[in-house]
Amino acid sequence: MENIKRREAIRRTAWIMGGALSAPTLAGLMNGCAPKPELTWQPTFFNEDQARLVMQVAETILPETDTPGAKSLGVPGFIEEMVSVVYDEERRSKFVEGLTRFNEDCKKNMGDEFIALDAVKQKEFCQKKDAEAKAAPWGDKPVLWSLKELTIVGYYTTEYGATEALQYIAIPTEQHGCLPLSETGNGKTWATS
């Protein structure tokens, strides 16, 4: 597997997200925060319930299929590092409060805590919260959107995400513009170099 530089991974991830990375996320990436795949994740900032919630929401956003999911690539630990090290005190506090509200809303609307739901119900609840956030007036983004951003950034800045989940050729030999994605390679989105 070809090694990829952090700056290149960040550039590709920003491209995937339409160039919109929040300032704290970008600062954390530039300062070396990176997912660390581990078989077990021991939270140091989140309590165990918060850690389980973060882990399960990240896995709901990017589940394991025929490719690794967020959990197996160490994304939940990356999220904790970003929140505990990069976020300022106010943003950190809002994030933790948002996790609590997210879980309380889940109990109220779905009848149980998020981690107790099956995968279908978890996905349904996340889609519902996402739709509510899109319909709400402009303002603070909900914790789900922060989790989505951090999950996607964490995933695509891993070596696997940057080199296997996306097509990547270090030095492309030809440029073929304006072709349907289905006609370009194996149907994956291209990473830019």
Specify if 55 maps to a domain.
yes
Specify if 76 maps to a domain.
yes
The predicted pLDDT at position 3 comes to 47
Specify if 189 maps to a domain.
no
Domain that holds residue 38: 6-183
Helix axes 143-156, 23-30, angle to 10 degrees: 30
The predicted pLDDT at position 1 comes to 37
The predicted pLDDT at position 133 comes to 84
Specify if 188 maps to a domain.
no
The predicted pLDDT at position 184 comes to 66
The predicted pLDDT at position 169 comes to 60
> Would you say 145 and 153 are in contact if contact means Cβ atoms under 8 Å apart?
no
Whole-number Å distance between alpha carbons of 104 and 135: 20
Specify if 1 maps to a domain.
no
Domain count for the chain, please give it.
Answer: 1
pTM equals: 0.69
The predicted pLDDT at position 31 comes to 57
Residue 40 has which token pair? 């077990």
Specify if 112 maps to a domain.
yes
> Would you say 72 and 78 are in contact if contact means Cβ atoms under 8 Å apart?
no
Note down pLDDT in tens along the chain; length 193 residues.
Answer: 344 455 555 555 554 555 555 556 655 555 555 555 444 578 999 999 999 999 999 999 999 998 899 998 899 999 999 999 989 999 999 999 999 999 999 999 999 999 999 999 999 999 999 998 888 777 667 899 999 999 988 888 887 777 776 666 665 566 667 777 677 666 666 665 4
Residue 153 has which token pair? 């950034």
Specify if 117 maps to a domain.
yes
Specify if 191 maps to a domain.
no
Sign of CA dihedral 17, 18, 22, 25: positive
The CA angle 84-86-90, to the nearest 5 degrees, is: 75
